[in-house]
Amino acid sequence: MKTIKDLKIKIFLDGAGIEDIKKMSGLDYIKGFTTNPTLMKKAGVANYEKFLSDILPLAKEKPISFEVISDDFNEMKAQAVKLSEFGDNVFVKIPITNTKGYSSLSIINDLTQSGVKVNVTAMMNPRQVQDLIRTVSPKAPMILSIFAGRIADTGIDPVPIMRECHSLLKSFKNAELLWASPRELLNIFQAEGAGCDIITVPPEILAKLNLIGYDLNNYSLDTVKQFYNDAVSSGLAL
């Protein structure tokens, strides 16, 4: 089994907790960072610009993605430009559509043509990738975030979908494929096998990295001990 150092895929820390980012930003295998409004809400972020000023020094030169917070395309575009000006390492997350289902591809094209690095987010299927390739001619680097974890939540295996997206992007210069919303450590290895360039991983999954390659007999014994010790410590009796 591969170790974390053997992996070619880039691991981006996914979160908005300042302490998590402080703790993990210096780790060699953390190659970048992503966040979104839902994670920011969970972390109690109330001031977006203060959050930016707190996070960016921690990221240093590593790529980091911040999301626009408007549903209006003109305002979304203005926010994207503003966010991009916070640093050369900033990628701006633009959802593939707005909340009404209208395509964002036109402004994504405009932004990339003007040099803004875009992370196209909330993508779920190869058709969206095909439409993007037909519409957008990026001059700036771009990330395509396919929400493999949410695909899996519907009972569909995301691996074939990610492989198809990887195949579609072979001739699409400047774009990287990102496996978003992982549900377990195994997803890191699945993402690499499917040809993804990046995977976003939250702190709770990163905490399990020490289990890679762990002997299953030992893990079985650990589990037995855990159940026994918890029964004793909780005072259960029959």
Separation CA 11–CA 197 (nearest Å): 9
Q: How confident is the model at residue 6 (pLDDT cuts 50, 70, 90)?
A: confident
Return the amino acid letter for 205. I
Return the minimum-mean-pLDDT range out of 20-29, 31-40, 93-102, 109-118.
Answer: 20-29
- Please give the average per-residue pLDDT across 134-150, as a whole number: 95
pLDDT at 78 exceeding the cut of 90: yes
Asked, for residue 144, whether it belongs to a domain, the answer is yes
| pLDDT tens sequence across 93-136 | 999 999 999 999 999 999 999 999 999 999 999 999 999 999 99
- Please give the average per-residue pLDDT across 182-197, as a whole number: 97
Separation CA 91–CA 174 (nearest Å): 13
Asked, for residue 238, whether it belongs to a domain, the answer is no
Asked, for residue 229, whether it belongs to a domain, the answer is yes
Asked, for residue 193, whether it belongs to a domain, the answer is yes
Number of domains in the chain: 1
Q: How confident is the model at residue 5 (pLDDT cuts 50, 70, 90)?
A: confident
Residue 206 near residue 15, CB atoms below 8 Å: no
Separation CA 186–CA 213 (nearest Å): 11
Asked, for residue 51, whether it belongs to a domain, the answer is yes
pLDDT at 1 exceeding the cut of 70: no
Return the minimum-mean-pLDDT range out of 47-51, 114-118, 138-142, 150-154.
Answer: 138-142
> Domain range for residue 67?
4-233
Any idea what the Cα angle at residue 96 is, between residues 100 and 49, rounded to 5°? 95
Model pTM score: 0.95
Output the pLDDT for position 30: 96
Asked, for residue 99, whether it belongs to a domain, the answer is yes
* Chain mean pLDDT for the chain: 96
142: which residues sit within 8 A by CB, 6+ positions away? 112, 117, 118, 119, 120, 136, 174, 175, 176
Tell me, what CATH number does 193's domain have? 3.20.20.70
